[in-house]
């Protein structure tokens, strides 16, 4: 296992439909940015976010750098200076500009970056039939990498547009759901004892999902749905953001230093009503929808207030193992990207889609994890420090991208992603 050269395991074959998959993934990125001006696509609202055109170019650089330049004879790069601009964090791939300075890249223009995409798309498509299976697996990795950036593109745009006093919408709202009374929260007893978690080896996976291994689950229960905005408002009205006994020490310091009093993008109107900014503009907070854009610190404090805790990632995965990860509020096309109120009569709901769910598990390697050799080994392993695992995907995660073993990870203070809370408790 330690000699495997890639971070994925796909079993890609010559007649696997890779060309269509590649084209579909690449097209969605362009569709998501279709209504943006060059200014929209260039601006960077904070160091954690990146400009839209950087996402469009970086995902293209990934295919060019890891596939075309390495394995396609006589390939000529679109622009030999682009790697300096669009390498993200791959030390083995050379120097790059600082992440916080990506908004300074006023040139190349959005138009030129779209030309860059077309150039690389044609080269990848033309070369697919001649690539070895191991290299075609890199194309699959590139497609999954781009899907990750599609979500980042949306969350970064949301943060950018939220800074504008005009409250512009990325897309117009296509009907706003009628708010209903949230359903009562139910507890669902989880699997207990020895369980297998991690990717089982069939289909695509990232290296951090492996190896599959046995872990032990104590008696526990999970909430049947995500925490709602109505429940979060109760937490706020009970002084949740003013009670240090509910907070981790670092979390309380973060609350005080940043004057945190509500989820990100919540704003109190002159009439005393809470509204929420989204990709479709500003609207009243929908009380039955899942709370969203909260940090790990907030999630942990809410769980304490509710006399519960956050689930471990093993508890979450054991509950999700038998469910269809393509069913849920996930990204299919531009527009209407927002979490929705829980529906259906399933025993446990909203495990996939709507919003990423914070777990109480640190992002660490599984037993037996090995970093693959070479630059591709920098994809996940070197970030296994100081972050927490999120599970399940969100309304901005492309449909078909997540699975029960999928591990997302962020620092505990970050909340510009679509992040939410599911409660757990010991039995």
Is 167 domain-assigned? no
Q: What is the 3-state secondary structure (H, E, C) of 349-394?
A: CCCCCCCEEEEEEECCCCCCCCCCCCHHHHCCHHHCCCCEEEECCC
Per-residue pLDDT tens for 392-416? 999 999 999 999 999 999 999 999 9
Select the more confidently predicted residue: 183 or 231: 231
In order of 38, 156, 296, the CA distances from 43 in angstroms are 9, 10, 27
DSSP-based three-state secondary structure for 217: strand
Q: Are residues 146 and 290 in the same domain?
A: no
pLDDT at residue 365 above 90? yes
Q: Two tokens at 420?
A: 């939410």
Tell me, what's the pLDDT at 13?
44
Tell me, what's the pLDDT at 265?
97
Q: Are residues 71 and 208 in the same domain?
A: no
Per-residue pLDDT tens for 262-279? 999 999 988 889 999 999
Q: What is d(CA 361, CA 300) in angstroms, rounded to the nearest whole number?
A: 12
Q: Are 160 and 43 in contact (CB under 8 A)?
A: yes
**Which residue, among 134, 126, 135, 129, has the nearest Cα to 14 in the 3D structure?**
129
Q: Are residues 195 and 340 in the same domain?
A: yes
3 confidence band (pLDDT: 50, 70, 90): very low
Domain final residue pick, 129, 162, 195: 162
Query: What percent of the chain stands above pLDDT 90?
Result: 84
Q: Are residues 270 and 396 in the same domain?
A: yes
Q: Are residues 102 and 193 in the same domain?
A: no
- What range defines the domain where residue 315 resides? 187-426
pLDDT at residue 145 above 80? yes
Per-residue pLDDT tens for 35-79? 999 999 999 999 999 999 999 999 999 999 999 999 999 999 999
Q: Strand 424-426 vs strand 220-223: parallel, antiparallel, or unpaired? A: antiparallel
pLDDT at residue 5 above 70? no
Please give the model's pTM, rounded to 2 decimal places. 0.94
Q: 45-49 — which CB contacts under 8 Å span 24+ positions?
A: 45/156, 45/159, 45/160, 45/162, 45/163, 46/159, 46/416, 47/99, 47/100, 48/414, 48/416, 49/155, 49/156, 49/159, 49/160, 49/416
Is 171 domain-assigned? no
Tell me, what's the pLDDT at 10?
41
Q: What is d(CA 406, CA 323) in angstroms, rounded to the nearest whole number?
A: 13
Q: Are residues 138 and 239 in the same domain?
A: no
Select the more confidently predicted residue: 173 or 174: 173
Is 403 domain-assigned? yes
Q: Two tokens at 4?
A: 């495997």
Is 125 domain-assigned? yes
Q: What is d(CA 5, CA 28) in angstroms, rounded to the nearest whole number?
A: 29
Tell me, what's the pLDDT at 6?
37
Is 169 domain-assigned? no
pLDDT at residue 89 above 80? yes
Listed ranges 87-101, 313-327, 370-384; the one with the highest mean pLDDT: 313-327
Task: Identify how many contiguous H helices and E strands the chain contains and give both numbers.
Answer: 11, 12
> Angle CA(371)–CA(376)–CA(414) in degrees, nearest 5?
80
Tell me, what's the pLDDT at 1?
25
Q: Alpha helix locations (H) across 223-324?
A: 229-237, 249-258, 296-305, 313-320
Q: Are residues 48 and 141 in the same domain?
A: yes
Q: Are residues 328 and 389 in the same domain?
A: yes
Sign of CA dihedral 325, 326, 330, 334: positive
- Cα dihedral 394→398→404→405 (10° resolution): -110
When divided into structural domains, the chain yields a total of 2
Per-residue pLDDT tens for 229-242? 999 999 999 999 99
Tell me, what's the pLDDT at 4?
29
177 confidence band (pLDDT: 50, 70, 90): low
Is 75 domain-assigned? yes
277 sits in which H/E element: strand 274-278
Q: Are residues 104 and 217 in the same domain?
A: no
Tell me, what's the pLDDT at 14?
43
Q: Are residues 126 and 192 in the same domain?
A: no
8 confidence band (pLDDT: 50, 70, 90): very low
Question: What's the mean pLDDT in 72-93?
Answer: 93
Tell me, what's the pLDDT at 377?
80
Domain final residue pick, 110, 145, 162: 162
Q: What is the Cβ-side half-sphere exposure of residue 346, based on CA atoms within 13 angstroms?
A: 18
- Cα dihedral 328→331→337→339 (10° resolution): 20
Question: What's the mean pLDDT in 204-226?
Answer: 96
pLDDT at residue 118 above 90? yes
DSSP annotation of 398 reads B
Place of tokens 């990750």: 148
Domain final residue pick, 146, 162, 178: 162
Question: What's the mean pLDDT in 94-121?
Answer: 96
Of 107-111, 167-171, 396-400, 412-416, least confident by mean pLDDT is 167-171
**Which residue, among 237, 283, 296, 40, has the nearest Cα to 156 in the 3D structure?**
40
Query: What percent of the chain stands above pLDDT 70?
Result: 95
Tell me, what's the pLDDT at 24?
97
Q: Two tokens at 365?
A: 């390697």
Mean residue pLDDT across the chain: 92
Q: What is d(CA 229, CA 239) in angstroms, rounded to the nearest whole number?
A: 15
Q: Are residues 229 and 337 in the same domain?
A: yes
Q: CATH no. for residue 66?
A: 1.20.120
Place of tokens 């790697």: 83
């Amino acid at each position: 296992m330690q000699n495997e050269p890639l971070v994925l395991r796909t079993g890609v074959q010559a007649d696997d439909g890779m060309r269509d998959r590649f084209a579909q993934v690449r097209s969605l990125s362009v569709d998501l940015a279709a209504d943006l001006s060059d200014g929209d696509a260039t601006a960077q609202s904070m160091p954690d976010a990146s400009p839209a055109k950087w996402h469009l170019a970086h995902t293209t650089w990934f295919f060019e750098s890891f596939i075309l330049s390495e394995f396609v004879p006589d390939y000529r790069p679109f622009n030999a200076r682009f790697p300096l601009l669009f390498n993200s964090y791959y030390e083995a791939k050379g120097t790059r500009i600082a992440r916080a300075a990506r908004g300074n890249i006023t040139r190349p223009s959005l138009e030129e970056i779209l030309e860059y995409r077309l150039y690389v798309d044609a080269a990848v498509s033309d070369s697919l039939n001649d690539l070895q299976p191991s290299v075609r697996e890199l194309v699959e990795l590139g497609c999954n990498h781009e899907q990750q950036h599609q979500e980042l593109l949306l969350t970064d745009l949301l943060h950018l547009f939220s800074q504008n006093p005009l409250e512009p919408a990325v897309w117009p709202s296509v009907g706003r759901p009628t708010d209903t009374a949230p359903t009562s929260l139910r507890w669902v007893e989880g699997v207990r004892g020895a369980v297998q978690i991690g990717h089982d080896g069939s289909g695509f996976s990232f290296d951090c999902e492996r190896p599959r291994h046995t872990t032990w689950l104590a008696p526990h229960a999970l909430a049947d749905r995500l925490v709602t905005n109505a429940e979060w408002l109760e937490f706020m009205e009970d002084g949740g953001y003013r009670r240090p006994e509910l907070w981790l020490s670092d979390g309380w310091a973060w609350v005080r230093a940043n004057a945190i009093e509500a989820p990100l993008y919540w704003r109190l109107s002159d009439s005393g009503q809470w509204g929420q900014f989204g990709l479709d503009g500003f609207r009243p907070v929908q009380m039955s929808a899942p709370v969203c854009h909260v940090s790990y610190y907030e999630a942990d404090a809410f769980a304490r207030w509710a006399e519960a805790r956050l689930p471990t990632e093993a508890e979450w995965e054991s509950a999700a193992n038998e469910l269809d990860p393509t069913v849920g509020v996930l990204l299919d096309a531009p527009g209407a990207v927002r979490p929705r109120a829980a529906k259906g009569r399933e025993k446990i709901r909203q495990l996939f889609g709507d919003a990423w769910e914070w777990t109480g598990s640190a992002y660490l390697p599984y037993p037996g994890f090995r970093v693959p050799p070479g630059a591709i080994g920098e994809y996940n392993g070197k970030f296994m420090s100081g972050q927490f695992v999120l599970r399940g995907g969100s309304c901005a995660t492309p449909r078909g991208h997540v699975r029960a073993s999928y591990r997302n990870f962020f620092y505990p203070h970050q909340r510009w992603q679509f992040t939410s809370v599911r409660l757990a408790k010991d039995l």
